[in-house]
Structures are given as C-alpha cells and as structure tokens.
Structure 1
Amino acid sequence: MEVFHFGAGSIGRGFIGKILSENSYNVTFIDVNEDIISQLNKDNEYTVETVGTNNKTEVVKNVCGILSGDLEGIKKKVPETDLITTAVGANILEIIAPTVAEIIKTRKSSGITRYINIIACENKLEASTFLKSKVEQYLNDDEKNYMETYAGFVNSAVDRLIPPRKVEGEVVTYTIVEDFNEWIADETLIKGDLDLKGMIKKKDLTPYIERKLFTVNTGHIITAHMGVYMGYETIDQAVQDEKIRKIVIGAMEESGAVLIKRYGFDKDEHEKYIQKILKRFENKYLGDSTVRVGREPLRKLSIRERLIRPLLGTIEYGLPNSNLLTGISYALKYNIDSDKESVELQEMLRTKGVEETLKEVTGNSIPDELMTIIKTNYEKL
C-alpha cells in the first residue's frame, strides 16, 4: 500500500508518517527540504524518540521522499497510491493544492476508479474541506465530477506536541515526540474503507476538534505569549511560572465551560483532560520554544481560532472569560522581528491602536465592553 504524505517535518515524521508506516504503508514524503528528502532516500527509515513518562526509541521503516517540485516523480507513483495525508501547516495547504490537483488529474486520465482519501492533518478547522476548495480551482468540470465521485476529503483532529529540534550527533530525520498522540477522523467523509490503527473514526468530529482547539491550543498559545513576554525560552519553563500557570489554567477552565455547555462533556472528565494537558506542557524533554509556539499571531487571533473562538463561546453562554481576555492582551504583545505576522501586528497597533486592530483582525466580533477590558490589560503591560 502506498501513501503520499505532504510535509516531512517533525510532525509529519513523528506522528502521521509513523502511524502510516505502522499500518504497512510505504510512505512517500513530499517536501521542499532537500536535506531531509535526501536522508530519507538514503536510509529508507528514520528514528523516533518518545520522551516523557514512557521513554523509547523506534525505527520507522518503508519510507522515501520526493521533492515538491518533482511533479513527474510524483505522477509516477500515482497509480499505486490511494491515500494522501498532510502535515505542512495550515498556511501551506493552498500552496500544495495544485500538486494535489495534478494527482487527481493523473488518476482520471489513467482511468483509476479506486477511491482515494485525502486527510489534511493541520491545526485548522475543516482543513481537508479547505484543501478541497483550493484543489477545485485547478480542475475543469469533468475533473471536479471525477474528484467528487472517487476522492474523499476527510476532516480530522490531530494532537501531538513535536518540537522541530535538531539533535546533536544525529541525522536530520531523527525526531523527538511526546508520549501522547490523538488522531480523530470524520468517518462520514471517508470514501470506501479506511481503517488505520492509531486513527479514531467519529461521526461528529466537531466536539473533538473544539475540545483540542479550546484546551490544548488555547492553553499552549497563552503559555507561549506570556512566556515570551516574561523572558522564558521554552514552554515547560513558562508553565511553571505561577502567574502564567494561573492564567493558563483559568483560560482552559473558561473555554472548557463552553465545551461542557455546548457538547455535554462531563465536567470532572474535562478537568482531568486539562490536568493531562498541563503535564504535557511541563514535559522538559521536549524543550519546545515559546517563540515557535507563539508564531503567526494574526492567524491565531482570527475569529475561528484558539483565542477568539472560545471567547465568543463564553459570550454566547454568558460565562466568565477574564483569563481569556488576559491571554488576548498578551497575544497583542507578541513582538518578534523574525515573525512576519508579529511585525505586521505591531505596525497595526502603532498606526491604528488596540481597538481598531482587534476589530480588523477578529472580524469585529468582540463586544465593546470586552474590547475595553483587553485594551486596559494591554496598556498595563
């Protein structure tokens, strides 16, 4: 069995690629990184080190790589390939869409009538549906009809903390991961049969996507932004700070109250879930950078993302939100010269002020009284 996996970075290798290999797939990684692709083709395997309470080292086999620009090389493998996955980052989905479209075109012109499933494993709501909308732009009507019949774009929720670390003395494909992972897929969007050990199928994905977004992503981003502001280099260092920890827990409890109200999650079970997330943040062996986790603040302040979406939930149900508001204030303080979005955000704040910037970035979704609180918090920092 063959699979194309777009993205040979740490998440691709340490999470999705590993699961696919363990399910007897031959994994072809597609990426722009020549060093990684070369190493994959040289070794046809790579090492994954799991760190945390259950430390272990495993070798992932049956892998190779193709550079993203090698369209002919990709097309040669199309006839044997019935699964595509991605871990490229939400912003890159639009960039890989033309290549996915070429794969669809090649299948059609080759007369292939087997189903193919395409799963975008990204921190984005309905990422596969988004990818489908971009792929359609490169297809004619006949090709769109073919895709509609034979290709399933399967939305999924993924969760594993994997810092992009280069390990001294090891090859570039050596990967460090935490000892937790969760991959949930929307089984209603799967075409044909797709059963993978390590992937959970659910008929309604929304509660699990929001649980991850509102808990892991919300807590992670607030830890990162507060950590950067207070001078901490890694997430595990930042979350040990009492001030940061109090705000992070408070924010996850506020967003959790929305989930309990909206989806009927058990309160005690969700509290255990929050405590599990905190333990993951505390994992010192990951050494995950606060600057890395905090990156792309404009995207992460958008209306469907990890700060504003749970805040809007607290407004909808009339629930407390003071810690989420504090987290948003620190997001506005994320000031990193190497981050394009950070530079743009700081320029917007300088020229337009807090209120106008937030209105523009969040789609004017925050009520005036909460906007005032955010502005006051921001000005006190």
Structure 2
Amino acid sequence: MKAVHFGAGNIGRGFIGHMLSASDYEVCFVARNPKKIAMLQKRQEYPITLANAEQDTTIVNNVTAIHVGEQDRVAEEIASADLITTAVGVSALEDIAEPIAKGIYLRMKNNNSAPLHIIACENAIGGSTRLKKRVYPFLDEATREKAERYISFPNAAVDRIVPVQDHKDPLQVTVEPFYEWVVHRPAMLEGFKEIEGVHYVDSLEPYIERKMFTVNTGHCVAAYFGYLEGFKTIRQVMSHAPLRAKVRNVMEETGAMLIAKHGFNPQKHRKYIDTILERFANPNLTDQVTRVGRSPLRKLSPYDRLVRPAMQASEFGIEIPHLTSAMAAAMLFDHEQDEEAMKLQHMIREDGVSAFIRERMGIPDEHPVHQHAVARYEELKGRQESTILT
C-alpha cells in the first residue's frame, strides 16, 4: 500500500507518517524543505521519540519524499496511491489543491478505479471537505464526475501535541505518548484498508468538537493567560495553580456545552479534561507560550476554538465568564514576532475592541457574549496597565 502525505513537518513525521508506516504503507512525503527531502530520500527512515520518562524511540521506515513544486512527479504518485493525507495547516490547503487536482486528473485519465481516500489531518472542522472545495475547481466537469465515483474526502479529527523542537538530526521528532485520529466511516469507500490505530466512527462532529473545544481551546487559553503573566512555557503555566485552575474552568464551561449538545457522559468528560490537563503539564515536553498562542486572528475567528464554543454555550443558556476572559486575554496577545498579533493590536487601536468583536469575531453588539467580552477585555487591560505603571 502506498500513501502520499503532504507536509513533512513535526506533525507529518511524528504522527501521521508514523501511523501510516506502522500500518505497512510506503509513505511518500510531499514537502518544501530541500534538506529534509534529500535526507528522507537518502535514508528512507527517521526516528521518533516519545516524551516520556524512558524516552522510547522508534524508527519509522519505508519513507521517501519529493518537492511539492515537482507537480508532474506529485501527480504520478497520486495517480498510483492508495491514500492521500495532509498536515500542512488549514491556511495552506489552498496551496496544495492544484497538485492534488493534477494527480486526480492523471489517475482518472489512467482509468485507475481503485478507491482513493483524501484525508486532511488539520486542526479544523471539516478539513477534508474544505480541501475538496479547493481541489475540484481545478478539474473539468468530466473528471469531477468520474472522481465522485472513486475518490472520497472523509473528514477527520486528529490530536497529538508535537511542539517546536531542535535536534542534531533534522529528521528526529519528539511527540507526546497520547494520540487520537478519528475518521468518518460513512465517507469511506468500499474495500478500504483500515489504518492501524485510527478510530472510525459513524458520527464525527462530537469527536471533532470535543477535541477542538477541549484540547485546542484549553491549549491556547493556557498560552494567553500565561502570556499575560509573563510565563514562557505551557509547562510553567500548568505548574502555577491559579492559572491551571483558570484553564480548567474554561474547559469545564466548554465541557458543559459539549455535554448538553452531544450527550457526553459528565463523569467521563471530566476524566477527559483531567487527561488533557496532564498532557499539557507533561514534564518531558517544552512548548512555548508564544508558539501555542500564535495566529490569534485565526483563533478568534467565528468558527474556531474560542468564539464557536462561546456562542454555542450561549444558545444552551450556559454561563461562560471564564471563556470570555480567555477571549479577552487572546485580544491582548501582542507578541511582536507574531504578524497576526501585531495586526490584531492595530485593529483594536484603530477601531476599538467592540468593533473588532463585531467585525472579526462575528458577535453582534447586542449579544451578551459581546458585552461580556468587552467588559473582560477592559478589566484585563486595566490590570495590565496598572501593573506596568507600578
């Protein structure tokens, strides 16, 4: 079996590539970094290390790589592949749409009727559906009609913390022991080969929202609260009892919404929150607050990890004082090396925080979440300015 995976970063190598190799797939990474591509081509293997006390190391083999710019070669790989996966970041899906389309065109031209699944393993709801919407405009109508019979884009939820790291071996990657990869089974075509370790489910939305609004929400909340207090790493934030309690409070508010919406067992969900907090506190992982908090405009967008659960909680009549405080903390994220953070601060300076919440976060002025977020922002900003003055 052959898999083509777009993205040879830490998630691509440390999570998706590892799992595919363990399921006896030959993995061809489609990447941009010439040094990593050359090393993967030469070695055809790389080590991953678990962030546990033993530092267990596994060798991932049967891998190679090609450059995303070599579109003819990429198309040939896709034309004969059994599976396509991505881990490039949601914003980069549009950059790989055309190479994927060329591969689909060649595959259909060659009359390859074997089922092909294209799974976007991104931190987003409906990532594969988004990718399909970007790929299909590059195909003519006849190819699209044919592809509909043999190609599917199942949505997925993925979860594994892989921080930025620096090793002597550029291919080595350290990952946390925990992982979860959930795929929407009804979108799988007949005759597919299950990937070892993947959980196939009939209804994906509960798993996606549980992950997005617990793990992703909690992680960025820890970063934004920690940033305001001057902490450098997530581990430091988790070691500070008052901040850890703040993060838990936010996760319990999103949890109340998830329980109300999806019918999760309250006791099991509390244990899930406990597990996530322990993952954040892993003493063998060092994750920078500025990395986890980066791209605040995206994280504050209407359908992402802060606004979306807040608005849904409001619909269920759930009070969210801690989540609105976290949203305010995100609006105060002013890391100078983060382009989005600087743009965010400029918007608020120019138009005011209320306009930002209305226009960029999509929350109307009269909505209680809007009003509470403004109040929390002014409160935190005042406290921040008072600290600076003293």
Question: Bigger shift: 237-246 or 250-259?
Answer: 237-246
Identify the range of structure 1 (234-243 vs 113-122) with the bigger mean alpha-carbon deviation.
234-243
Aligned equivalents of 1:264, 1:52: Cα separation in 2: 33
CA distance in 1, matches of 2:164, 2:33: 13
**What's the offset of the Cα at 1:310?**
1.0
- Residue type of the partner of 1:181? Y
Q: How is 1:40-119 mapped onto 2 (pairs within 5 angstroms)?
A: 40-52=40-52, 55-119=55-119
1:312–1:366: 8 Å Cα contact kept in structure 2?
no
- Distance (whole Å) between structure 2 residues aligned to residue 365 and residue 236 of structure 1: 36
Structure 1 partner of 2:317:
318
Partner of 1:139: 139
Which residue is 2:169 aligned to?
171
C-alpha distance in 1 between matches for 2:193 and 2:135: 22
The answer to whether the Cα contact below 8 Å between 1:9 and 1:164 also exists between their aligned partners in 2 is no
8 Å CA contact 2:21–2:27 kept in 1: the answer is yes
Q: Deviations over 1:301-357 (max 9, x none)?
A: 111111111111211111120100000000001112222211111111000111100
User: The residue matched to 1:304 in structure 2 has which SS?
Assistant: coil
Matches within 5 A, 1:150-165: 150-165=150-165
Q: How many Å separate the matches in 2 of 1:379 and 1:153?
A: 44
Q: Pick which of 230-239 and 179-188 moved more.
A: 230-239
Alignment deviations for residues 15-54 of structure 1 (CA, whole Å, 9 cap, x no partner): 0000000011110001111121111112100000001356
Give the drift of 1:191: 1.7
Does the Cα contact within 8 Å between 1:89 and 1:123 map onto a contact in 2? yes
**Structure 2: segments with no counterpart, 5+ residues:** 381-390
Query: Which runs of 4 or more aligned residues in structure 1 lie more than 4 Å from their structure 2 counterparts after TM superposition?
Result: none
Matched ranges for 1:113-262 at <5 A: 113-167=113-167, 170-192=168-190, 193-262=192-261
The answer as to 2:329 corresponding to 1:369 is no
Deviation (angstroms), 1:196: 1.1
Residue 365 of structure 1, CA deviation: 5.0
Deviates more, 1:187-196 or 1:348-357: 187-196
**Structure 2: distance between partners of 1:155 and 1:370:** 30
Aligned-partner Cα distance in 2 for 1:144–1:369: 45
Aligned AA (2:128)? S
Distance 1:230 1:194 in 2: 48
Structure 1 residues 59 and 310, CA gap change in structure 2 (3 angstroms): same
Residues 63-86 of structure 1 show CA distances to partners (whole Å, capped at 9, x for unaligned) of: 011011011222332343121000
CA–CA distance in structure 2, aligned partners of residues 275 and 367 of structure 1: 35
Displacement of 1:4 in angstroms is 0.5
Provide the rounded CA distance (Å) in 1 between the counterparts of 2:319 and 2:5. 42
Aligned residues: 379
Asked whether the equivalents of residues 307 and 328 of structure 1 are also in contact (C-alpha less than 8 Å), the reply is yes
Compute the displacement of 1:367 (Å): 4.6
Where in structure 1 are there 5+ consecutive unaligned residues?
none
Structure 2 partner of 1:341? 340
Structure 1 CA distance for aligned equivalents of residues 368 and 312 of structure 2: 16
Q: Does structure 1 conserve the Cα–Cα contact (< 8 Å) formed by 2:231 and 2:289?
A: yes
Q: CA deviation at 1:290?
A: 1.0
Aligned counterparts of 2:126 and 2:31: Cα–Cα separation in 1: 22
SS in 2 for 1:287: coil
In 2: Cα distance, 1:317 partner to 1:208 partner? 19
Write the distance in 1 (CA, Å) between the matches of 2:367 and 2:22: 52
Are 2:259 and 1:264 equivalent residues in the alignment? no
**Equivalence for 1:20:** 20
Question: Normalised by the size of structure 1, how large is the TM-score?
Answer: 0.97
Q: Which amino acid aligns with 2:99?
A: T
CA RMSD in angstroms comes to 1.3
Alignment partner of 1:311: what SS? helix
| Aligned 8 A contact 1:187 1:201 in 2 | yes
Shift of 1:166: 1.2
User: Match for 2:185: what amino acid?
Assistant: E
Q: Secondary structure at the match of 1:133?
A: helix
Secondary structure of residue in 2 paired with 1:117? strand
